[in-house]
Amino acid sequence: MEVHTQGRRASLGFWAPIGLLVLVCLPRSAGVTSADTQPRTHLALHPTFAHDVAPIIYQHCASCHHSNQPGALCGTDAFALLNYQDVKQRASEIARVTRHRVMPPWLPEPGYGDFVDDYRLSDEQIQILSEWVREGAPEGRASEIPSAPQFTDGWKLGKPDLILEAARPLSVPASGPDVFWNFIFSPSLKTPHYVRAIEVRPGSNLSLIHHANVVLDPARSARRQEKVPGAGFPGMDIALEHGPFDIPSHFLFWKPGGAPWVEPDGLAWRLDPGTDVVLNAHFMPIGTPQQAKPTIGLYFTDKPPDRLPMLIELENDDALNIPAGERDFAVSDDFRLPRDVDVLAVYPHAHYLGHVIEGYATLPNGQRKWLIRIANWDPNWQAVYHYRKPVFLPKGTVISMRYHYDNSSANPRNPNSPPRLVRGGNQATEEMAHFWLQVLPRGGGARIEIESALLRHRVEKYADDFEARISLGALMLARLDPAGAVNVLQQAVQLAPKREDAQHFLGIALETVGRSPEAIAQFRIAVALKPDDTQARYDLARTLVKSAQFVEALENFRQVAAADPRNAQLRLDFGELLMRYGQPAQALREFEAALALDPSLKTALRDRNLALDQLQMH
């Protein structure tokens, strides 16, 4: 879904600047407007549809199977299960798929995490269905049949506060491989808004879409991947640029079949003006050519967040080198928490060779606490799983990911026949090993400390991960560790010498530790790589002033002032440099401009009087 993103390994399974909101198939009976549909789980001697089966079907099956058109809401053939004839026609199939726990689709093993919307059937319910079929699927008394649930065809939470529509439709062929496509939306917002829920509508044909990830792109980096503006671009898992302080916080993963996830009070997420929204959608050919033009509905709240969650990702894609025929290829990753956290949700992600998925925590006292276990992974039913109660993990806990892959012909989901060597990658025929947790850190500064520890973990794993190094270096500067930042940023510059931001950050670190000549060299490189970077040019000018290189400093200040004329502090600094260089008349103009922009600048008022005094003396 994943974030998610830091470097080439971060993805929608993912990681994005805000993250991923979840909606799973059959999560709850939202949208149901009927009378009681709670299942009766007693073991009836002679079960009937009216008394025993209808409550089970209406509670656990109807939220996907409520129309003959959108049956693919859960990736299944289209059929409804809203009356006796519907269910009787499928009775044998229902007994079979429930007996083998294929349906309802719920991947986590019982006893390995207590999740909201655990809609697996009990043993008693499965036995009722089987016994009912064995006895000929009797209807029973029609008067006892509960009212069928009613489902809205429109937005499940009512009209959204803001609706985003794709600029261009996507043509999905009648047949062939699944299509993964990214649509870019640009909300017209003038002020920040807080989002409590999100819903995706794939277009006129609900059967076309399997699931989608929503990703926030404050840097608008997705646009650079479009060949035609507004058309979007292909890709299953995508990597987007983000700043070191844009820590992913929410899961934004959508799958049809139930109600959108609504964030609890205090946990809404922020959408800022200028931020693009990317919809990473999975489309399935359905036998006829289709046009898909999805929309996204956003639901706002006036309550700003008072708690700041974050996403923790474990992953080890570089270890994925799965030989053809290998039935149990294991991949692992471990991360030690530097602070106390409460785990709110978990999201495991793999592709079609994934088999056994395990995530657990080893507490400081050695006790193991299971977070999730899936004995038979199926990416078609992947979801985010929210805990009924937050799971507390103290500082020093080690979070572990253990994934097993089956690359043999015995794996019915193997995309390659015959099997072939599979490595890590973002295509459906490649593999991923990602394990995400949404956590609430405890204590001030905990998010930055945890994010720094995660980045160090990546740096230790990947010698060539530029993004992890530049992000870690920036966070170390923010945490007042410039000496440590110098070493990390030097590594980043070696990996990507043409990246202006790395040269700039390294210059800041060098200047902070008093190595001004080296800092000036880095700033000069940054400005040469990106001449319109006013911040890098400003830092160069200020450092040149400290080194008494006034001529070059003046020229850089002039360019910065021309590019950012409404920056009061910049005009003040420029004026002070002009004073030092013996140009009080020009300095006076800068001090007066600074005061016009910000009358509260006492230093500008003092300097203006000094400039006037000098002019009167001459």
Q: pTM of the predicted model, to two decimals?
A: 0.82
Q: What is the reported pLDDT for 74?
A: 46
Return the ∠ at Cα 524 (arms to 523 and 529), rounded to 5°.
95
Rounded Cα gap, residues 291 and 272, in angstroms? 31
Residue 46, CB-side half-sphere exposure with 13 Å CA sphere: 6
pLDDT, residue 207, reads 66
Distance CA 346, CA 368 (A): 17
From residue 119, alpha-carbon distances to 213, 310, 405, 502 in Å are: 23, 27, 26, 49
Token pair belonging to 142? 């029609």
Residues 403-452: tens digit of each pLDDT: 999 999 999 999 999 999 999 987 778 999 999 999 999 998 899 999 99
For residue 383, what are its two tokens?
Answer: 């979801």
- Cβ contacts of 518 within 8 Å, gap of 6 or more: 510
Can you list the residues of the chain whose pLDDT is less than 50? 1-41, 68-76
Gyration radius of the chain over CA positions: 29
Measured CA to CA, the distance from residue 73 to residue 62 in angstroms comes to 11
Cis, bond preceding 104 (omega within 30 deg of 0) = yes
Q: What are the C-alpha distances in Å from 500 to residues 217, 492, 530, 536?
A: 20, 11, 6, 9
Q: Please tell me the predicted confidence (pLDDT) of residue 10.
A: 36
User: Which DSSP letter does residue 231 get?
Assistant: S
The Cβ of residue 19 has, within 10 Å, a number of other Cβ atoms equal to 32
190 within 8 A of 251, measured Cβ to Cβ: no
Number of Cβ within 10 Å of residue 437's Cβ equals 27
Is the separation of the CB atoms in 500 and 530 below 8 Å? Answer: yes
Burial 553-566 (b: 16+ CB within 10 A, else e): bbebbebbbeeeee
- pLDDT for the residue 30: 38
pLDDT (0 to 100) of residue 64: 77
At residue 439, the pLDDT reads 97
Coil, helix or strand for 569?
Answer: helix
Report pLDDT for 580: 83
Least Cα distance to 213 among 285, 116, 311, 304 occurs for 311
- Express each pLDDT in 110-124 by its tens digit: 999 999 988 789 899
- Strand, coil or helix: what is 255? coil
**Hey, what domains does the chain have and what are their CATH numbers?**
49-144 (no CATH), 154-301 (2.60.120), 311-444 (2.60.120.230), 449-617 (1.25.40.10)
86's tokens: 């519907």
Beta bridge partners of 402: 332, 358
Report d(CA 449, CA 467) in Å as an integer. 18
SS3 571: helix
State the burial class of residue 361 (Cβ atoms within 10 Å of its Cβ: 0-12, 13-18, 19+): buried
Calpha distance 247→216 (Å, rounded): 12
Q: What is the pLDDT of residues 353-397, one digit of tens each?
A: 999 999 999 999 999 999 999 999 998 888 899 999 999 999 999
